[in-house]
Amino acid sequence: MLSTVTMKSYSLAEVAQHNTRSSCWVVIHNKVYNVTDFLPEHPGGAQIILKYAGKDATGVYDPIHPPDALEKNLPMEKHLGPLNDDAAGAEALAQESRPRTKDELRVEAALKQRLPLHRILSLTDMEDEAKKVLSHKAWSYYSSASDDEITKIENAKAFSRFFFKPRVMRPVSRCDPSTTILGYKSRIPVFVSGAALAKLGHPLGEENITRGVASAPLIQMVSSNASLSYEQIISVASPNQVLFFQLYKHADNSIAEKRVREIERLGYKAIFLTVDAVVPGNRERDIKSPWVLEDAERRSTDAPRSSEDIERDEEEGNTFGTAGALIVNDDRDMTWETTIPWLRSLTKLPIVVKGIQCVEDAILAANAGVDGILLSNHGGRQLEYSLPPLEVLYQIRRRSPQVFDKLEVYIDGGIQRGTDIMKALCLGAKAVGLGRPFLYAQSAYGAAGVAKITRILERELITAMQLAGAVSVSDLTPELVERVDWQPTIRSRL
Amino acid sequence: MLSTVTMKSYSLAEVAQHNTRSSCWVVIHNKVYNVTDFLPEHPGGAQIILKYAGKDATGVYDPIHPPDALEKNLPMEKHLGPLNDDAAGAEALAQESRPRTKDELRVEAALKQRLPLHRILSLTDMEDEAKKVLSHKAWSYYSSASDDEITKIENAKAFSRFFFKPRVMRPVSRCDPSTTILGYKSRIPVFVSGAALAKLGHPLGEENITRGVASAPLIQMVSSNASLSYEQIISVASPNQVLFFQLYKHADNSIAEKRVREIERLGYKAIFLTVDAVVPGNRERDIKSPWVLEDAERRSTDAPRSSEDIERDEEEGNTFGTAGALIVNDDRDMTWETTIPWLRSLTKLPIVVKGIQCVEDAILAANAGVDGILLSNHGGRQLEYSLPPLEVLYQIRRRSPQVFDKLEVYIDGGIQRGTDIMKALCLGAKAVGLGRPFLYAQSAYGAAGVAKITRILERELITAMQLAGAVSVSDLTPELVERVDWQPTIRSRL
Amino acid sequence: MLSTVTMKSYSLAEVAQHNTRSSCWVVIHNKVYNVTDFLPEHPGGAQIILKYAGKDATGVYDPIHPPDALEKNLPMEKHLGPLNDDAAGAEALAQESRPRTKDELRVEAALKQRLPLHRILSLTDMEDEAKKVLSHKAWSYYSSASDDEITKIENAKAFSRFFFKPRVMRPVSRCDPSTTILGYKSRIPVFVSGAALAKLGHPLGEENITRGVASAPLIQMVSSNASLSYEQIISVASPNQVLFFQLYKHADNSIAEKRVREIERLGYKAIFLTVDAVVPGNRERDIKSPWVLEDAERRSTDAPRSSEDIERDEEEGNTFGTAGALIVNDDRDMTWETTIPWLRSLTKLPIVVKGIQCVEDAILAANAGVDGILLSNHGGRQLEYSLPPLEVLYQIRRRSPQVFDKLEVYIDGGIQRGTDIMKALCLGAKAVGLGRPFLYAQSAYGAAGVAKITRILERELITAMQLAGAVSVSDLTPELVERVDWQPTIRSRL
Amino acid sequence: MLSTVTMKSYSLAEVAQHNTRSSCWVVIHNKVYNVTDFLPEHPGGAQIILKYAGKDATGVYDPIHPPDALEKNLPMEKHLGPLNDDAAGAEALAQESRPRTKDELRVEAALKQRLPLHRILSLTDMEDEAKKVLSHKAWSYYSSASDDEITKIENAKAFSRFFFKPRVMRPVSRCDPSTTILGYKSRIPVFVSGAALAKLGHPLGEENITRGVASAPLIQMVSSNASLSYEQIISVASPNQVLFFQLYKHADNSIAEKRVREIERLGYKAIFLTVDAVVPGNRERDIKSPWVLEDAERRSTDAPRSSEDIERDEEEGNTFGTAGALIVNDDRDMTWETTIPWLRSLTKLPIVVKGIQCVEDAILAANAGVDGILLSNHGGRQLEYSLPPLEVLYQIRRRSPQVFDKLEVYIDGGIQRGTDIMKALCLGAKAVGLGRPFLYAQSAYGAAGVAKITRILERELITAMQLAGAVSVSDLTPELVERVDWQPTIRSRL
């Protein structure tokens, strides 16, 4: 408190002088920061910061950083102080009078034309609405996947190969789809799988999800890369609400330890250790997103480029898109022998390995004594042509069903319908995770949207269970499903 | 008779005052009914009635209720009496001068442009014509299926995987495709599978079907949810015409018993107990149908909605669409052990279980001693991803062919062609049911349309049999078909 | 000669009076015929003749009847005599001044825009050109197939499932693809499979084919339903050219015998007995073809029809389209036991059974001692969902290869490329038949077109053989092909 | 040198008189050549030369002939001498004022609109850019394949059937994808597969590739049909850069020997003997390319052709397109017994057989003692329906893995992504070849484009390896991949 008294305030002109790699200041929320020394450490690369050297960077900073990012990463002596009043006013004015881009105008109009929520009947309806109101950047980040996005499609398509053998003449008037996940009650066998950067889609970000799943309740897994602080998120949870934490382990064990201790202290109930994202996937649509916008704004009268300009390859520091930057410092050398014992030694929280992609690793995980595994290929965002999680689940069922006795098995990727959930449970999954659908729902309708899709999934699952002759998750056995040998029609909006 | 003399008549103003949940009157065919107490019991939910509280509801009531619905469900003391002459006149005038919706205008024009019947060569041609003349609501109800409508498509696609090994050099000039179903003669191995609400498509409703199949004859299965009374329908049948009854069993055994006794008394010859619809399927296209119409009428100048309006989720009592309402009171706790014996104890009529979807239940049905099973997933309108009936039939043939010796096996779902019928019979079906095609045919051309498609099916089946070297249904054996291991081209209008 | 002297000549007015079923005259090439008694016997039904009762019918008669049809079928006393000169002149004038239909105008224009022949590189190119210059009626008759035309597509698609295992480092500079068929030399293992009504596509009809294949030479199989007389066709053949005959056996053995004796006398070298067309296939596109044209000519101001007109089903005598009529009198009761011995007793010509569609019948044919079988489902024009001939060939290869030792095996259906021919030969076929491609070629370019596609096929086959390491048909063994277990891309213009 | 002094120079009028088959002169780069005697020997046929008889042919000669072609093929006495100054000036002027074709104008505009190189993220992006800037002729030659181009598509599609079973919890921070090919170091297991006529796409031709891969380095295989001389190409290589040679063996052993000795002398390090192109494939799109351009230029007022013109089939000497001409004199009678020993006797260079297409020939190659085999069907440009190389590789892995111990196995065809490379290596390939992508890259951006795609492939491969838990090529084992039994989605731009 006292320190602020002594703080100098800055004019825009002063700030503007520090616009080089050797002296780089930026303004965020009317505060001036000296980020010169931080440039080489910035996970997103120096380039993106230098674009705003000597200027206000609030607009690009906000949606992808939790508010405590600066505190955590920038030494206090680099927090130079506030803009002076003139500067702040000028900045506000500039911001206000800034002409809107075509994309911003599109989003503004779309927000007014959203369907009333009661017309949203399915997760696909929700995605359709979200697509309309999301900025191109957010849509690209949320919806994109690796390379040609085959894996993302195949994740969903895998469900179409499993048909039901429904049983009739069984009493189903009382049907309860609830279950437990790591011992915690869940209204339906569904949880929110870690999905980063919710603020890209809605100003309230991950809070929407926390509030939206409260009434069910469903369990929310919060990503290390959330756009709110872990504390902010859990602080809006209702008293008995359970949150898990998706850990991206920092390469530096001491930094990683700090994060584990923090989330344990905050009350998160389990750790999902992410193992399928040691390097960033090649999400081309995400990387191309700024160019698409640039082209949209470009005047057709712009002069053609010279051959030299065209052929000079300006490789930028960060070609990973929004996503890649987030994991630049993560541990790429984890092993079963070292990482799991290290984590066990730090915390009593249950440990789930997130990102198992074959039977062999499922067995190794069981042997390593973890509490659960999440069969996942990161929604198709990491290794292109990784087997669909449902196929891995099916292979475990056929070749190593003992795995199901040793730990809880979850899957995520491609789930859109109650029948998808039921298929996964029939094959042995304890619960399924959904990521993108929750991001879409909160983007389009905030917490109300999140609550809506939990109700949709519950309704769809109950209907499916009753029509299959099942009244509880224990009735969902492998005998109810059959993998067919033909190529079924796939959903038109897959 | 005498009672009508004493009946009071009502003015429109009087009726209009009873427009709330606490006092709700409606006018139907110029008669006034007090439905206040009935609101909570209405299978379609109170909401839909309240929309017409204090008003004339004939237009929406008629196409989906049999004329005896009010007698059966509303105590006589709630039948308040007729409108007075002024009111009736005013109502008639209002009705007449009511502006037509775009959809009504479209249908009116289409009715004049129908192809002459002799140009209809196939069931697909018939469906094409029906689509043109059906109201959007009727088309949505008839054609829609669950979720993403995959199952409906797969039902039909399953036939494409079975090819023929036709035999040549067999005498085929005399070919007779007739058979018996539960001992009753049928000109071809085809029956009308229960399909509700024929009046949605044509003012004469189910009568069209009864009259249309009379000359063949084919057997008609009448749904519990017919839009004419069971008596009306059977009363137009010719003397030797056979009708079956599709029973939706009421949760209250005594009500269910009343229905069984009624249909037995009326002369229906068999009971098809529906077991695949204990809860309504999620027919999104049907549910969305009113919104589509609403959007079509909406002026583009309508004010945008506020964010609050948009995010408030007005879940209505009935989100099941036209269909769901029909089965709200049905028995969800039927079992092999209780339900079949109960039904046997009530009636000597043959019992067929409609909605068997796997081999295991086919065996249970055989053990339960029923007379037949109808392999069906309700035309894809109930559990999405239920195996196609033809695949279930094929599995019975391969794994449990003894079932065919114990009871008659029928299938429905996806049948469009004579070759489809022949495939099912080759695999062991005694007969096949068609639902939608008969609804389409009566909608487009009344009874003449129904008769037309029976002739089409007969012609196609005879041609197929002769070209395969078969002259009677007993020649249709498994050796004539082969399930292929590639993905055949599917009909373009599937 | 003398008789013509005494013949009366007729005025148009006289003819016009005989325009009823009880007295029906028609004019063909300025001659008057009394066809009253013939009406019930006309294979195409009475209806189509009555449309021209009292009028000139040359235009519709010509393209689908050989010139000797009237001599063969109408007693000489019904040949009433010529039109008088005035009538003939008036008729010619009327014909000339008749306004052209839209379809005729389209064809006229297209004929002038054909690609020069040297630009035709493949059979698909040829089909594309033919489609442009064929009348709608001819295109419909040639290209159509049964029901939804799945079988036609699958016939061709079957070839896509067989890939080559080409051998390298084999001397291939000398490659000779010639073979023998029933002992007769053929430049490539290809023959013209019976295809009727060539005059529909080109005024010279089947002659184009005979002349076009002369130089190769290839063997032409002439259909019983050719649009020229069998004598006309063989009379244009070059001295050593070989023609086979496709026999549709008349139900009346004595009529059938007459035909066999005629073709033997004319010098045809083998009989292909058609067994897959005992009843007409359901070629909807062909049947609909006149309605399509009618609709195209119809003025949009035409009055809407009344509901009664629409719903009255005017089933016409012939709903078989152009094709069905041709086989109305054929023998539907042929058997291995009676028909083959009967035919053997009549002729020493080799007998080939055309239309074998499964392994079982291939074996029966071998046992019956015929000289060859043509695996064929009539180009998909008869039983829809008959197995593709190539699959039947493959099954014979796998399950009953001894068949290949007992008789010659040919296939037709779906062949478009030299690689297709090579696949069939690798699997055991002695030769392959093509039908539609020859009809298309003669329609677009006459005999030159026919010669062109023989050269294309020869070039493609030689290229394929050389690239596979083969230099003669005896090198084409099963080891060179592999049936793949995935779904290959299919030709875009399949 | 002295000889040039005595040389006569020519006027255009003089040259123009020699415009017939009996005396045919052409001008190339202002020099006059008498090619009369050469006409019958020209691999591309006489026809194409005669089109330029008495004229300047530089424009069509340049892009498809190496500069030394005339020296090598035309006796010095036929090099008549230079144009005189007037003629050269007139020629230059004519060239300059020649109106550009629509296609040339399109290319000119496209060159100015190319994306800056840093926006090219994938090989598909590169192909998209190349397609824009390539002349129609070049695009047709580069991208076309045989017949219906099924094989080309299937080559790529084969990769989609192999999915990964990625391993997690393995240290991957240090990942090195380098390998050796025939003992020579390669930065990634990729080489430039022989691809002819680079000058068609870019004036610097194959030099672009040599320079572009220098820094990686990757190994370039230079085609016998390169559009620069073998000496020119290798002369721009950096000191330690390795080049291989793709030998099309001339039918005349002495000519073939001369070529082998030349490339050995020039410093090429290995010989890839092409065995899958003994006759030209049927590349229809390439053959049609000039007609497409002709049609584009044609005025709509051009007179229709007469029927005779249309039906006269002007078969030209060369119907092989750009490609076919190149191999007209190649040896079509190579055998394992004669050709390999002959080549071994000539040179100590490693010998690789390029174009193996089945397991059987892989075994024969191993037995013949060659150093490597390239599984290839010539990018789908030779025998249509040749099995995809990846499938052949998979069959060797399953049925004859001992082959991998005896020689190095490479594959080419359809590779677009780092994951494709990884799949091939997992199944046993030592390295993979890419052809078209390098042609596209040099066409669009010259050497910079080539360097760009090597960086893209390296980045993609490293990412894929790390995400699969692999850090060196020796970690890439069959256990990491699985051939799936469903039909995966294929890349939209396949």
**C89 lies in which domain range?**
2-97
- To which H or E segment does residue D33 belong? strand D31-34
Confidence of residue A492 (pLDDT cuts 50, 70, 90): confident
How high is the pLDDT of residue A301? Answer: 60
Residue C491 placed within a domain: no
Q: Closest to B419 (Cβ–Cβ): which among C147, C278, C291? A: C147
Q: How far apart are CA D373 and CA D431, in angstroms?
A: 11
pLDDT reported for residue A329: 82
Give the model confidence (pLDDT) of A213-270 as tens digits: 999 999 999 999 899 999 999 999 999 899 999 999 999 999 999 999 999 999 999 9
CA–CA distance from B218 to each of B184, B194, B215, C184 (Å)?
10, 13, 8, 56
Q: CA of A3, closest CA in chain D: separation in Å?
A: 43
**C276 given a catalytic annotation:** yes
pLDDT at D294: 82
Q: Are residues A271 and A359 in the same domain?
A: yes
The answer to whether A55 touches A30, Cβ cutoff 8 Å, is no
Give chain B positions within 8 Å (CB) of C311. 117, 445-446, 448-449
Whole-number Cα distances in Å, A26 to A17, A41, A83, B354, C179: 11, 16, 11, 72, 84
Residue C210 and residue C343 in one domain: yes
Higher pLDDT, D98 or C334: C334
Name which of C163, C390, C417, C450 to mutate to probe chain D: the one with the most chain D Cβ atoms within 10 A of its Cβ.
C163
Interface test with B, best of A157, A159, A163, A169 (most B CBs within 10 A): A169
Show which residues of B are catalytic.
248, 276, 378
Q: Tell me the CATH number at A145.
A: 3.20.20.70
Would you call D466 and A387 a contact, using CB atoms and an 8 Å cutoff? no
Do B148 and B207 lie in one domain? The reply is yes
User: Are A398 and A352 found together in one domain?
Assistant: yes
Mean pLDDT of all residues in C70-86: 86
Contact D129, A296 (CB under 8 A): no
Helix/strand/coil for C141: helix
Distance CA B17, CA B30 (A): 17
Residue whose structure tokens are 């894809």:
B380
3-state secondary structure chain A: CHHHHHCCCECHHHHHHCEECCEEEEEECCEEEECCCCHHHCCCCHHHHHCCCCEECHHHHHHHCCCCHHHHHCCHHHEEEEECHHHHHHHHHHHHHCCCCHHHHHHHHHHHCCCCHHHCCCHHHHHHHHHHHCCHHHHHHHHCCCCCCHHHHHHHHHHHCEEECCCCCCCCCCCECCEEECCEEECCCEEECCCCCHHHCCCCCHHHHHHHCCCCCCEEEEECCCCCCHHHHHHCCCCCCCEEEEECCECCHHHHHHHHHHHHHHCCCCEEEECCCCCCCCCHHHHHHHHHHHHHHCCCCCCCCCHHHHHCCCCCCCCCHHHHHHHCCECCCCCCCCHHHHHHHHCCCCEEEEEECCHHHHHHHHHCCCCEEEECCHHHCCCCCECCHHHHHHHHHHHCCCHHHHCEEEEECCCCCHHHHHHHHHHCCCEEEECHHHHHHHHHHHHHHHHHHHHHHHHHHHHHHHHHCCCEHHHCCHHHEEECCCCCCCCCCC
Which residues of chain B have a CB within 8 Å of the CB of A162?
385
**Cβ atoms of residues A276 and D166 within 8 Å:** yes
Is C438 a member of any domain? yes
Contacts of A154 in chain D (CB under 8 A): 163, 488-489
Closest in C466, C486, C487 to D279, CB measured:
C466
Residues in chain A within 8 Å Cβ distance of B360: 165, 167, 479
Picking from A57, A81, A97, the residue at the C-terminal end of a domain is A97
Q: Identify from C107, C164, C467, C489 which residue to disrupt to test chain D contact, counting D C-beta atoms within 10 A and taking the largest count.
A: C467
Structure tokens belonging to residue B217:
């004859």
Q: Which residues of A touch D204 (CB under 8 A)?
A: none
Cβ contact A409:A430 at 8 Å: yes
Q: Are D154 and D396 in contact (CB under 8 A)?
A: no
Chain B nearest-CA distance from A443, in A, is 12
Predicted confidence band of residue C404 (pLDDT cuts 50, 70, 90): very high
Query: How far A36 CA sits from the closest chain D CA (Å)?
Result: 26
Q: What are D40-76's pLDDT values in tens digits?
A: 878 777 888 888 899 888 888 888 888 888 877 788 8
Select the residue from A426, A456, A465, A467 to test the B interface by mutation, using most B Cβ atoms within 10 A. A467
Q: What is the mean pLDDT of chain A?
A: 92
**With an 8 Å Cβ cutoff, are D384 and C166 in contact?**
no
Q: Which of D31, D62, D97 is the last residue of a domain?
A: D97
Nearest chain B CA: its distance from A414 CA (Å): 15
The Cα–Cα gap between D424 and D434 comes to 13
Does the pLDDT at position B91 exceed 90? Answer: no
Residues A145 and A78 in one domain: no
Contact assignment for A335 to D169 by CB distance below 8 Å? yes
Residues A187, A221 within the same domain: yes
Question: What pLDDT does residue C472 have?
Answer: 98
Average pLDDT, stretch A284-291? 91
With beta carbons under 8 A apart, name residues in chain D contacting A487: 486-487
Nearest Cα residue in chain C from D368? C169
Contacts of residue A4, defined as CB under 8 A and 6 or more positions apart, other chains included, come to none
- State the pLDDT at residue D126: 98
pLDDT band (50, 70, 90) for residue B304: confident
Split at pLDDT 50, 70, 90, the class of C276 is: very high
The single-letter code of the amino acid at A455 is R
> Per residue in D398-433, pLDDT tens?
999 999 999 999 999 999 999 999 999 999 999 999
Q: What is the pTM of this model?
A: 0.94
Asked whether residue A232 is domain-assigned, the answer is yes
Of the candidates C309, C334, C357, which has its C-beta nearest B166's C-beta?
C357
* Cα(B429)–Cα(A323) distance, integer angstroms: 56
| A143: pLDDT strictly greater than 90 | yes
Are A64 and A129 within one domain? Answer: no
Claim to verify: residue A172 and residue A55 sit in the same structural domain: no
The one-letter code for the residue type at D342 is: W
**Do residue C112 and residue D304 have CB atoms under 8 angstroms apart?**
yes
Mean pLDDT of chain C: 92
Are residues B147 and B87 both part of a single domain? no
C364: chain B residues, CB-CB within 8 Å: 169
Cβ of A383 within 8 Å of Cβ of D464? The answer is yes
Contact B279 A419 (CB under 8 A): no
Instruction: Report the alpha-carbon distance of residue C55 to residue C41 in Å, rounded.
Output: 20
pLDDT at D317: 45
Confidence band for C73, pLDDT divided at 50, 70 and 90: confident
Task: Please report residues of B whose CB lies closer than 8 A to that of C383.
Answer: 164, 166, 419, 464, 467-468
The pLDDT of residue A321 is 62
CB within 8 Å: D310 and C117: yes
Neighbours of chain D (3+ CB pairs under 8 A): A, C
CB contact at 8 A, B200 and B208: no
CB contact under 8 A, B279 and A168: no
Token representation of residue C263 = 């073709």
Which of B121, B482, B489 has the CB atom closest to C287's CB atom?
Answer: B121
Q: What is the domain count for chain D? A: 2
Q: Same domain, yes or no, for B237 and B359?
A: yes
Q: What is the pLDDT of residue B318?
A: 47
> Residue D160: closest CA among chain A residues belongs to which residue?
A385
Question: Has residue B15 got a pLDDT over 60?
Answer: yes
> Bridge partners of A164?
A481, B386
How many whole angstroms from its chain centre is CA B61?
A: 17
Do A432 and A155 contact (CB within 8 A), yes or no?
A: no
Q: Is D367 exposed, middle or buried (0-12, 13-18, 19+ CB in 10 A)?
A: exposed
Residue of C nearest to D376 (CA): C166
pLDDT digits (tens, 9 = 90+) for C222-251: 999 899 999 999 999 999 899 999 999 999
For D358, which of C165, C467, C486 is closest by C-beta distance? C165
On whether the CB atoms of residues A430 and A181 are closer than 8 A, the answer is yes
The residue among B7 and C371 whose pLDDT is bigger is C371
Confidence of residue B201 (pLDDT cuts 50, 70, 90): very high
CB spacing of C169 vs D385 below 8 angstroms: no
Q: Are residues D132 and D221 in the same domain?
A: yes
Tokens of D88: 């050269």
Same domain, C404 and C479: yes
Question: How far apart, in whole angstroms, are the C-alpha atoms of residue A112 and residue B310?
Answer: 9
- Find the CB nearest C385 among B164, B446, B459: B164
> What CATH number corresponds to the domain at position D77?
3.10.120.10
In the block, residue with structure tokens 């399949």: C494
What string of DSSP letters covers C413-430? SS--SHHHHHHHHHTT-S
- Has residue C37 got a pLDDT over 70? yes
Question: Is D67 or B80 the better-scoring residue by pLDDT?
Answer: B80
pLDDT(D469) > 80: yes
Mutate to test the interface with D, among A146, A147, A287, A320 (most CBs of D within 10 A): A147
Whether C109 is covered by a domain: the verdict is no
Chain D nearest C-alpha distance from C245 (Å): 29
Between residues B277 and A88, the one the model is more confident about: B277
More confident of the two residues A240 and D367: D367
How many of the other CB atoms lie within 10 Å of CB of B405?
7
Q: Name the domain boundary from D51, D81, D97.
A: D97
Least confident of A217-221, B489-493, C479-483, D358-362: B489-493
In chain D, % of residues over pLDDT 90: 73
Instruction: Please give, rounded to a whole number of angstroms, the shortest distance from the CA of A381 to a CA of chain D.
Output: 11
Residue at A65 is within a domain = yes
| Cα(D406)–Cα(D392) distance, integer angstroms | 17
Report whether pLDDT(A1) > 50: no
Q: Are D415 and D127 in contact (CB under 8 A)?
A: no
- The answer to whether the Cβ–Cβ distance between B386 and A166 falls below 8 Å is yes
Asked whether residue C324 carries a pLDDT value surpassing 80, the answer given is no
Residue A160 near residue B150, CB atoms below 8 Å:
yes
- pLDDT value for A293: 82
Confirm if D199 and D134 have CB atoms less than 8 A apart.
no
* Tokens encoding B420: 């489809």
Report which residue type is found at B197: L
Cα–Cα distance, C176 to C185 (Å, whole number): 13
pLDDT above 60 for C40: yes
From C410's Cα to the closest Cα of chain B, the distance in A is 17
- Confidence grade of residue A328 (pLDDT, cut at 50, 70, 90): confident
Which pLDDT belongs to residue D480? 98
> In the prediction, which pLDDT does B329 show?
82
Residue of A nearest to D112 (CA): A304
Q: Does residue A489 form part of some domain?
A: no
Nearest CA in chain D to A490: D489
Residue D306 covered by a domain: no
pLDDT of residue C323: 58
pLDDT band at C1 (very low <50, low <70, confident <90, very high): very low
Token readout for A290 is 């700024």
Within C21-101, residue ranges assigned H as helices are 46-50, 58-61, 69-73, 85-97
pLDDT score at B48: 81
D305 pLDDT more than 80: no
Percent of chain D scored above 70 by pLDDT? 95
DSSP, collapsed to helix, strand or coil, labels residue D157 as helix
What would the pLDDT profile of A77-115 be if each residue is shown by its tens digit?
Answer: 889 989 888 888 888 888 888 888 999 999 999 999 999
Neighbouring chains to B with at least 3 Cβ pairs closer than 8 Å: A, C
- β pairing state of A372-375 and A408-412: parallel
What pLDDT digit, counting tens, does each position of B57-73 carry? 888 888 888 877 887 77
CA atoms within 13 A on the CB side of A413: 35
Question: Higher-confidence residue: D313 or B413?
Answer: B413
Domain assignment present for D466: yes
Nearest beta carbon to residue D311 from set C165, C445, C466: C445
SS3 (DSSP) at B99 = coil
